A and B are shown apart, each in its own frame.
Chain A
Amino acid sequence: MPGITREEVAHLARLARLELKPEELDHFAGQLDDIIGAVARVSEVADQDVPPTSHPLPLTNVMRPDEVRPSLTPEQALSGAPAQEQQRFKVPQILGEE
């Protein structure tokens, strides 16, 4: 199977907002390759008659009634926020997007 390239790792790192050094790119490319190779072995046993599975339990339609349940208080909600202002989460300048 094709290996994970440095460029792919750099792309993923950018999407995940991770700053990686050049040597780390090679390091993670190798590691990711190993992990994906291991997972890919599943396809050796999964045949056409095995549907793709995203949940370990064969459950469907687990739903809740549309009934209001207590929320956190604003104080609780904001208790983990690094910064707050006017009872809102304060975040740094958002650039480049809207």
Chain B
Amino acid sequence: MTTTTDLVSYEDALASYDPVMGLEVHVELGTKTKMFCGCSTELGADANSQTCPVCLGLPGALPVVNAIGVESAVKIGLALNCEIAEWCRFARKNYFYPDMPKNFQTSQYDEPIAFHGYLDVQLEDGETFRVEIERAHMEEDTGKSTHVGGATGRIHGASHSLLDYNRAGIPLIEIVTKPIVGAGERAPEVARAYVRELRELIRALGVSEARMEMGQMRCDVNLSLRPHGTEKFGTRSETKNVNSLRSVERAARFEIQRHAAVLSSGGTIVQETRHFHEDTGSTTSGRVKEEAEDYRYFPEPDLVPVAPARAWVEELRAGLPELPLVRRNRLREEWGISGTDMQAILNAGALDPIVATIDAGADAASARKWWMGELARAANESGKALDELAITPAEVARVTELVSEGSLNDKLARQVIEGVLAGEGTPDEVVDKRGLKVVSDEGALTAAVDEAIAGSPAVADKIRGGKVAAAGALVGAVMKATRGQADAARVKELILQKLGVGEG
């Protein structure tokens, strides 16, 4: 069913309506085992090779909660400035769907482990927006379905489906915001910034890699509009499983325009789930909620309550790492760079590599220069993330050291990096193998300078006549003769000296 969706322009939508958003983010924890059994969570295993009676829901199986799963949930709660429940239980969320072999998902209902927090997020221009957190609770992931017989894996028209339960039971933390109001036209940007901040936070806590492209973190965007000046929330749509930062922003924007079109033509919004399509940036209708969801939650009788001791919670609080926003602001000040520069570093995923390079002995400016320049280019060309490049921060630090001690210039340093990336060894090995060293032997340099002057008498005359700028041609000739291994500034000095011209 491909019906075209009526939209009004974003500006017109915002002129009449005020968007209200709710974001639900699911994070797959990076534990070694599942939430309620000892099956491995490692990716890429053979289908159904990581299941057991517990995660298959076989009769008589008894789940036991993963201690690291609970600890991770508390850490996330604390980092989100939440209160941590003194006592809470798991609950069964009952529904029939083949991705859950138990016919219920073990989740939490009215007793989430963490609640009433907030996360400050920074927008592109540096402005801070506070997003209130309703709750964070523990649950488990579902199995993976493959639909067979329809068009390219779509559920519609499929003749049957195949289920792999390796993912069923992997710990999930669901983080739910309170309604986000007051963001106005910046609502989509806030949504994106929130998910990004949350991702950074999760990574800083070390509880998950939170790679959205691998489904380790996914966002449901709930959105409604209300006419300006009114209090009551409108009917919302839920765009499910949006799995990139850019898509979160686009989905929110699209829904604002779609809702506005429906409302301004006198229509009503249907409460439904919607699917976001990366290719078109649009959403389409999924399942209409005909009746209120009836999951018949009840306390999970096979799991005992979780009662995080206060002393343990305080111990975890004291052990929290510096949180990303605080760290970014600190580094930005230390490095003396603008918010825009910092944003570029973040967008490139270069912050951690740069910090690691500085820790390995490089100065901040050089570390930034190489990661944001040569290495960003290399990563871009090879379609890799910066931290996937075949060079370590320590190796980058060594290159900057060789430059600062004068044995490499920038041009040679680029060749060294190219060599390391190509697997030719450490920076020192590449220097040796490729014979890359700045020619600092004055005798050799002087000879090359003399040769260059003799080779271009006309240029030499110009320089003697005061046209210092012409020296560039001779510097080029010397650099060529020394295969780029000379220090260009020194070469220029020598040329001017020889020709009896002082600089400046």
Q: Which residues of A contact B (CB under 8 A)?
A: 11, 15, 17, 54-55, 57, 59-74, 77-78, 80, 85-94, 96-98
Contact = CB atoms under 8 A, between A and B. Distances in A.
Nearest to B146: A88
Contact of B48 (A54, A64, A70, A89): A89
A46 B158 CA distance: 52
Interface in B4-49: 31-33, 37-40, 46-49
A14 to B, nearest CB: 9
Contacts of A64: 38, 64-67
A94 B101 CA distance: 14
B47 A87 contact: yes
Contacts of B307: 60-61
A98 B49 CA distance: 25
Nearest to A97: B287
B332 to A, nearest CB: 36
Most chain B CB atoms below 10 A, which of A59, A62, A72: A72
B94 A94 contact: no
27 contacts: A15-B296, A17-B96, A54-B89, A54-B301, A59-B304, A60-B307, A62-B65, A63-B70, A72-B56, A74-B47, A74-B48, A77-B165, A85-B148, A85-B162, A86-B146, A88-B48, A88-B146, A88-B162, A88-B164, A89-B98, A91-B160, A91-B162, A93-B158, A93-B159, A93-B161, A94-B158, A97-B287
Interface string B43-80: 00011111111001010000011111110000000000
Contact of B98 (A69, A87, A91, A98): A91
A48 B271 CA distance: 39
A72 B52 contact: yes
Interface in B456-504: none
Contacts of B53: 72
Nearest to B31: A66
Contacts of B304: 55, 57, 59-62
B305 interface: yes
Interface of B: 31-33, 37-40, 46-53, 56, 58, 64-70, 87, 89, 94, 96-98, 101, 145-148, 155, 158-165, 275, 286-287, 294, 296, 298-301, 303-308
Given A15-B296, A62-B64, A91-B163, A72 B51 contact: yes
Q: Main SS of the interface on chain A?
A: loop
Contacts, number: 137
B33 A66 contact: yes
B299 A54 contact: yes
Given A88-B162, A94-B147, 16 more contacts: A54-B298, A55-B304, A62-B304, A63-B70, A64-B65, A68-B39, A69-B39, A70-B38, A72-B51, A72-B53, A89-B164, A90-B160, A91-B160, A91-B163, A92-B160, A94-B155
A91 B51 contact: no
A67 B33 contact: yes
A90 B67 contact: no
Contacts of B37: 69
Contacts of B97: 94, 97
A97 B287 CA distance: 6
Most chain B CB atoms below 10 A, which of A60, A89, A92, A97: A89
